[in-house]
Structure formats: C-alpha cells, structure tokens
Amino acid sequence: MRLEAERGQICVVGARDVVLVTIVTSDANLGRVRLDMMKAARDKS
C-alpha cells in the first residue's frame, strides 16, 4: 500500500506477522524501495 503526502510517501508492506512501514521523500526510487521492503518482510517472516 502507498499513501501520498505533500512532501513524500508512506509505503506499507506486510507478510505473515511482519508489517514494514517506510517513509520516503518524493524523489525516492519507489520501485527499488518496494522491492527491498518486500524482500525484507519476506525474509523476516
């Protein structure tokens, strides 16, 4: 899930019992952020 704000975005990824929330600036590479978040959530669950 992704929520847009005035100066950036909040990205949320969940896997089993892990929920990872990341706050990123508007110039961030969202594709890379989401891939890294999904990998981290999967590895920790």
pLDDT of amino acid 45: 67
Q: Where are the alpha helices (DSSP H) in the chain?
A: 30-44
pTM to 2 decimal places: 0.76
10-34 tens-digit pLDDT: 999 988 888 999 999 999 999 999 9
Q: Which SS3 state, helix, strand or coil, does residue 18 take?
A: strand
Q: How far apart are CA 26 and CA 14, in angstroms?
A: 22
Q: What CA–CA distance (Å, rounded) separates 35 from 37?
A: 5
